Chain A
Amino acid sequence: MQGFRVASPMEQFEIIPIVDLSLGSIDISLTNSAVWMLIGTGAIIAFFFAATRRAAIIPGRLQSTAEVLYEFVSDLVRDTVGPEGRKFFPYVFTLFVWILVANLFGMIPSLPGLPKAAHTFTTTSHLVVTLALAMVTITIVIVYGFYKNGLGFFKLFAPSGQPFYMYFLLVPIEVVSFLSRPLSLAIRLFANMFAGHIILKLFAGFVVSLIGAGGFLAVVGILPFIGAAAVTALEFLVAFLQAYVFAILTCIYLNDAVHAADH
């Protein structure tokens, strides 16, 4: 292998405690995952602080970027939930920007030679993180749905205007579809980032193995290299698209909660 070492594609998902902490019997160590979440959150706060520090009528470059992001999510909320969705805008905006930054920071290549704990880590490639985000969304939907509509929230499971015998079929389907929402939200984001990063590392591993083999095979190594470059470009698209999809699905579910009684 000429001194090359191909890491297993699963190694990048390893959670490494950096500062050992414990609360009674619960392990609350500061891990590389937590560090990357803090880096992401810190970057978002720093960015918006810098962008709005000298707010002007004619925006500068930073302010324009922040405004584009704001208007993008604002339009999304207005189009899907309507005027009543304004109060959910801060939540959806936070969700969108946080997932986007977590996805994009995972695309930063790790510097070679650093200890494993200092490698780039994609926080959204862990089911526990995405499931927590999805649970928050669904909790808001259920709590606000009951707060706004009272027991009328149950009309969500029985769309009006059907012949009565259809309800025997419709209600179970609607209930199952509602119950599967947090899972599908969480698994979609997790599996996209997980699978994407495995493919990235697999292609990179092919390049290293082929160059390590030497001779003619080293020349063939250009093919997976092109593939790796293309997959990297695709991953940037997926990083944005998944943040967008998470935000738009959150909006659609919130719309159900806001307008449950109109069904």
Chain B
Amino acid sequence: MEADAAKLIGAGLASIPLAGAGIGLGLIFGNFLSGAFRNPSASAANQPTMLLAFALTEFTGLLGFVIAMLILLEIF
């Protein structure tokens, strides 16, 4: 296989974490909303925790993106 082709396939594979990050973010926001609708008075207090969980989950997807970029741009 051509080295370039392998590089592109690798970059594509490295973007798979985006699926996990998407599922995780959906779970966070979905669960936060379902909790917030049941008890609206408690939602404001939990917003920082939700944003923190959002940032931590998003990191997984971003790591995949960074690895894809490293492969594509050949920065090692």
- Cβ A248 vs Cβ B48 within 8 A: yes
- Cβ B66 vs Cβ A188 within 8 A: no
Pick the contact of B52: A192, A242, A248 (CB < 8 A): A248
Chain B interface size, as a band, is: 10 to 19
- Cβ A244 vs Cβ B62 within 8 A: no
Number of A-B contacts (CB under 8 A): 37
A249 to B56, CA, bound (A): 10
Pick the contact of B62: A195, A241, A248 (CB < 8 A): A195
A192 to B61, CA, bound (A): 10
Chain A residues, CB < 8 A from B59: 184, 187-188, 191
Chain A residues, CB < 8 A from B52: 245, 248-249
- Cβ B66 vs Cβ A245 within 8 A: no
Chain B residues, CB < 8 A from A195: 62, 65
A248 to B50, CA, bound (A): 12
- Cβ A191 vs Cβ B55 within 8 A: no
Q: At the interface, is chain B mostly helix, strand, loop or mixed?
A: helix
- Cβ A187 vs Cβ B62 within 8 A: yes
A194 to B55, CA, bound (A): 15
Contact digits for B35-68, partner A, Cβ 8 Å, 1 yes 0 no = 0000000000000100110110011001101100
A75 to chain B: closest residue by CB: B48
Of the A-B pairs whose beta carbons lie under 8 Å apart in the complex, a sample of 29, sorted by A's number, is A76-B48, A79-B48, A184-B59, A187-B59, A187-B62, A187-B66, A188-B55, A188-B58, A188-B59, A188-B62, A191-B59, A191-B62, A191-B63, A191-B65, A191-B66, A192-B62, A194-B66, A194-B69, A195-B62, A195-B65, A241-B51, A241-B54, A241-B55, A244-B51, A245-B51, A245-B52, A248-B48, A248-B52, A249-B52
Q: Which chain B residues have a beta carbon within 8 Å of chain A's beta carbons?
A: 48, 51-52, 54-55, 58-59, 62-63, 65-66, 69, 73
The 9 nearest A-B residue pairs measured at CB: A191-B62, A245-B55, A188-B59, A191-B66, A195-B65, A184-B59, A191-B65, A248-B52, A187-B66
